Chain A
């Protein structure tokens, strides 16, 4: 966490870094043999390289390239072996016995064993790790027993049908137990895995340098080859500035990027040198969470009025240029058990919004046209970190602010750095909070809306502070059964409760948007669990 302590640093330094990059060009491209080095530019800063800590998408993106997981998921969503060769689940769903490979070594020389499985799972649930994502997924985790060097028995405190799915995510990648014993600050800058690359250098807010693991022998079933990666060096640049990142790709100083800026989509599509790799992601779509734990959004009428006040679709069309799809309900349309029925639950409706606000007692108007009640203005605060979002998102939020103003809401967008906004998020000191949750199961509903996720080490997933016994029962019941019909029914009811309670303003579906210089490299694929860039299979294009 030390990396995040200088509160002003992320934005200011990011700007400086970007200027430096723009000025002198990527040093990486000056390598003697360019085909030996793949330069990837990521658009969101990384707080700690270890994906167990916190757990934000940029951490998982990088982790997918230097960590292996216990199990893997194929493109059809089926769970397959990886570091675990096989596993058995007890009849009550509470015990998972994994048989793991005994020929795999971490890049620090440590042997991968059942002991490493225990060390990793224990590390993720340790409150000191501050693991919002991995730790959040493992709330049903009880303990791991090491039976012998290749057998680990994991005990859960309740049935958890999504357990193997989340284990396949890079957030739960397996790290060297030797490396995990170091202080967190150290592990954050040099985590060690068994993966196809290993981290050799890290300059915060600038770049991570990785080299190929020459002894790699544990490629997952979804990979297209075995043995070491094709490309020797991997440079992972951090370039939050949208136009700079895209400019570096056009100029040939980076070979691929993520968070492809929507404003340049048309140009990139027309460019023969550039290939776009696109994939919608399942989970809870990009949204604004409404904090139900304090006024004014503790009043359901005000929440509903807010959802009816804003024009999201027009904003998406204008600033995203049709590169993302409008989200409707609490689940992204690519998620299992998604129901389209809640897509149009809160269409823009000024008359209804006004009626609800009048009913809720916000009948006064101040000199600036905002609604008031007992002399207090209808203010909703949105702490916002511009560096964490694409340019278009910031524009969209501004448009939401403007359309809510028409109905009398004073939406205050308060720009701040990561550290300040996370602190507010964890203490429910906001009315609106921008978020999303990418995951491969409908169990995301339990994580984003159930009572037990109102508190968490790391960050709080349940940002609306929603606590409803009936809902909690439904989403936990859905984990205890394998019957798809029963699960479909339970998840339908869960979506219904979320929609009825007006907990989120859904914006657009999360999507992986990568661009690759196909004149130089080919075969940039997405790892299937979270659709993250997977460099292992990338090959250089022969110039001749």
Chain B
């Protein structure tokens, strides 16, 4: 989508803009891709140390997710009943679990699944929320109020409960868990994107496009949608952390990843009954869930602040 955005050249930034990340491209005539890249690069300068640490940990998690074999050579699924409940030592950095499996390699193996689940769920949430929110924003009148009421009904359910309803209907498993969490987060995205769409529509550059005689279709796809979805990247980064926690919660309840899957939430659930004699079985997956949620949130929030400072 490297469409040149003619109308943005005449655009003046909207006043106010208290909504986080609600400002479209700064209208400086760049394509969106380079705009974002520049924003990120500029963000790197003067970045607080906390963000650096978070980014480093996140990079480690991504590395663990992409090439787990780089960090551990042990098979996370090999059982060894005789070697169960071994405390952390040089051979088993994080000890072994009730089945004698190496906790470190299981935590590393779980990184890929957890991050992927988080990303997939966020993507599903964004697509669903985007469809609802943008449709509501551009259509106006009865369809807008219908969607708004619908989203409000969904808001009446806590997000995790919504996810549980999806699971109750469609059964357990990793794929369902991703969909469930996605659906659970969708109402939030829908509401934000509707507001965003309304602001973009009211922007002068849309007015300009209209006066240039562009068709409704053209304006929708080439002007409104690109400007609406840009701040989504930041929202998504923030959302991944939440999605990881929710997906882990589902697995903790036995509704997500199925045994013997090395998934953080499932491992935490496995280990909780042994916490008095073998704290490491539950502690390490728990620490990694926390790390994943913390780092994505810190990095996401930082990006968001940079983007806001931009305009």
Spell out A's residues near B (CB within 8 Å): 6-8, 11-12, 15, 241-243, 261, 263-264, 267, 311, 314-315, 317-319, 386, 391-392, 394-395, 397-399, 401-403, 405, 412-416, 420
Contact = CB atoms under 8 A, between A and B. Distances in A.
Interface in B167-213: 167-168, 171-172
17 contacts: A7-B168, A8-B165, A8-B167, A8-B168, A263-B276, A311-B81, A318-B99, A319-B84, A398-B259, A399-B79, A401-B259, A402-B78, A414-B172, A415-B172, A415-B255, A416-B172, A420-B171
B81 A8 contact: no
Contacts of A403: 79
Given A401-B259, A416-B171, 8 more contacts: A243-B272, A318-B81, A318-B98, A391-B273, A399-B79, A399-B99, A402-B260, A416-B172
A413 B258 contact: yes
B63 to A, nearest CB: 25
Contact of A8 (B78, B255, B273, B274): B255
Contact of B100 (A261, A263, A318, A420): A318
Contacts of A413: 258-260
Given A263-B273, A394-B259, A413-B259, A8 B164 contact: yes
B77 interface: yes
Secondary structure call for the A interface: helix
A447 to B, nearest CB: 30
A402 B255 contact: no
B167 A401 contact: no
A397 B79 CA distance: 12
A356 to B, nearest CB: 23
B67 interface: no
Contacts of B274: 243, 263, 391
B35 interface: no
Contacts of A7: 168
B22 to A, nearest CB: 35
B276 A243 contact: yes
Contact of B258 (A264, A391, A405, A412): A412
A314 B273 CA distance: 20
Contacts of A398: 79, 99, 259-260
Given A243-B272, A318-B98, A391-B273, A12 B79 contact: no
Contacts of A414: 172, 258
Give chain B's interface residue range (CB within 8 Å of chain A).
20 to 34
A315 B273 contact: no
B263 to A, nearest CB: 12
Contacts of A314: 81-82
Interface of B: 77-79, 81-82, 84, 98-100, 164-165, 167-168, 171-172, 252-255, 258-260, 270, 272-277
A7 B270 CA distance: 22
A12 B273 contact: no
Contacts of B77: 402, 405
Given A7-B168, A243-B275, A402 B79 contact: yes
Nearest to A416: B172
A10 to B, nearest CB: 10
Contacts of A315: 81
Nearest to B79: A402
Nearest to B97: A395
B255 to A, nearest CB: 7
Given A8-B168, A12-B164, A391-B273, A318 B82 contact: yes
Contacts of B255: 8, 11, 415
A11 B172 CA distance: 13
A331 to B, nearest CB: 26
Nearest to A316: B81
Contacts of B270: 394-395
B81 A399 contact: yes
Contacts of B81: 311, 314-315, 317-319, 399
B274 to A, nearest CB: 6
A318 B81 CA distance: 6
A264 B277 CA distance: 8
Contacts of B273: 241-243, 261, 263, 391
B171 A319 contact: no
**3 cross-chain pairs, A with B, having the tightest CB-CB distances, nearest first:** A318-B81, A415-B254, A391-B273
B289 to A, nearest CB: 16
A314 to B, nearest CB: 4
A264 B274 CA distance: 9
